[in-house]
Amino acid sequence: MNIADLLAPDAVLPALKVQSKKQLLQELASRSHALTRISERRIFETLVERERLGTTGVGTGIAIPHGRMTEVKTIIGIFARLESAIDYEAVDSQPVDLVFMLLAPENAGADHLKALARVSRLLRDKGTCEKLRSASTAEAMYAILTGDKNGAASSAA
């Protein structure tokens, strides 16, 4: 599974302005609605429900909010770099500035887990995160996120 299978070029947000975790999830729901035409409220409720189970703030400034919904037909993602890091109640208590949201079909099971693992593997790479934090455009971020089909983005400078 490649990141390009999960993320459309127009689903990269290079400087999202939010002040809180709730506002971030609302903004992601709004952007997801624009891509999928699924109810913004339903998407938001799905993301919040998942957060109640435990934070999706995985540490080192990264969050991977996600959820499964019957209305979703194929796994979709949105990547956002926040203009300013926010408190996300992450596992390491560090503020979050890189967010990769995933929505999957209710019955996606293994594919949902594979998508989460793929995103997690990509964002665990420090070099990739540094490039994402210093990229100046959505196009550059998309290229970094999708650049290498084997795992982390290329480590060449």
So which residues are the catalytic ones?
66
Distance CA 52, CA 58 (A): 15
CA distance 4 to 22: 27
Q: CA angle, 75 as apex, 127 and 79 as ends, to 5°?
A: 35
**How far is the C-alpha of 23 from the C-alpha of 102, rounded, in Å?**
17
Length of the chain: 157
How remote is the C-alpha of 21 from its chain's centroid? Answer: 13
Residue 83 neighbours by CB under 8 Å, 6+ apart: 15, 16, 17, 18
- Amino acid identity, position 40: E
CB 136 within 8 Å of CB 15: no
